[in-house]
């Protein structure tokens, strides 16, 4: 009887639960390492994206905004929140050196002056104006598409960013840099659409 009890307990003692629990622990460490590497890649891509976005600005302002992007990424942990800080934060973009159009979904009256600010920052003498239409029929997506069409013959492309809020965000970038900016934004973890895709999504 005692031998049978000893054997029963002996079998339990031979099992090695510690070895079983090490597998999920190893997986967790591997996943954590992958997440750290992915975050580092997004951070680096955010830096490249901001350098492309600010290429036309004075050196000091460009450096200030790139540094702000990095600091914001480190604070919030993602590129969307960091770019939103650039667009909306009190220490972000400045009048005369505007970078990011940001309009609440129903604030169509904001589009014209912000496109004008972008034009000033690029040194574009032309100004975009809403085409004649019923003001009540104006929408932010419609205005951004009209502005993108206006900018195209001037050598610029508009990219549209979804930062996870009910605000529309858009940037103007030189055509030769548009593909790089688009791919870099994707690498940074940003949701970005080129104007044809944006138009189709709001058709």
Domain-embedded: residue 6: no
CA distance readout (Å), 103 to 57, 127, 162, 189: 22, 18, 12, 21
Evaluate whether residue 12 is within a structural domain: no
Q: For residue 7, tell me if it sits in a domain.
A: no
State how far the Cα of 33 lies from the Cα of 37, in Å rounded to an integer: 6
Q: What is the dihedral of CA 167, 88, 47, 65, to 10 degrees?
A: 150
- Encoding tokens for residue 173? 């970038």
Q: What is the pLDDT of residue 53?
A: 97
Query: What are the 10-residue block averages of pLDDT along the chain, 203 residues in total?
Result: 43 42 46 68 97 96 97 96 96 95 96 97 96 89 97 98 96 97 98 97 89
Residue 39 counted as domain residue: yes
Q: Give the pLDDT score at 133.
A: 82
Q: What is the pLDDT at residue 61?
A: 97
Residues 6+ apart with CB under 8 A from 157: 148, 151, 172, 173, 174, 175, 178, 194, 195
Give pTM, 2 decimals: 0.81
The predicted structure's pLDDT at residue 35: 58
Residue 111 lies in a domain: yes
Look at residue 6 in the predicted model and tell me its pLDDT: 44
Domain that holds residue 172: 17-201
The pLDDT of residue 203 is 81
Distance CA(172)–CA(126), nearest Å, equals 14
**Is residue 9 assigned to a domain?**
no
Specify the number of domains making up the chain: 1
- Residue-level pLDDT at 9: 44
Q: Is residue 149 part of a domain?
A: yes
Neighbours of 110 (CB within 10 A): 17
């Amino acid at each position: 009887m005692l031998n049978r009890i000893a054997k029963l307990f002996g079998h339990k003692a031979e099992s090695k639960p510690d070895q079983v629990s090490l597998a999920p622990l190893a997986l967790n460490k591997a996943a954590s390492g992958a997440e750290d590497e992915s975050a580092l890649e997004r951070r680096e891509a955010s830096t490249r994206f901001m350098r492309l976005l600010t290429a036309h600005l004075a050196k000091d302002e460009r450096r200030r905004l790139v540094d702000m992007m990095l600091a914001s990424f480190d604070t919030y942990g993602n590129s969307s929140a960091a770019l939103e800080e650039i667009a909306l934060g009190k220490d972000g973009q400045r009048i005369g050196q505007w970078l990011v159009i940001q309009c609440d979904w129903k604030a169509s009256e904001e589009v014209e002056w912000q496109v004008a600010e972008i034009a000033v920052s690029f040194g574009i003498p032309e100004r975009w104006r809403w085409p004649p239409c019923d003001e009540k029929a104006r929408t932010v997506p419609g205005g951004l598409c009209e502005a993108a069409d206006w900018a195209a013959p001037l050598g610029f492309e508009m990219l549209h960013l979804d930062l996870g809020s009910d605000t529309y965000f858009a940037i103007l970038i030189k055509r030769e840099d548009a593909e790089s900016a688009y791919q870099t934004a994707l690498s940074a973890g940003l949701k970005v659409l080129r104007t044809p895709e944006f138009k189709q999504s709001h058709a």
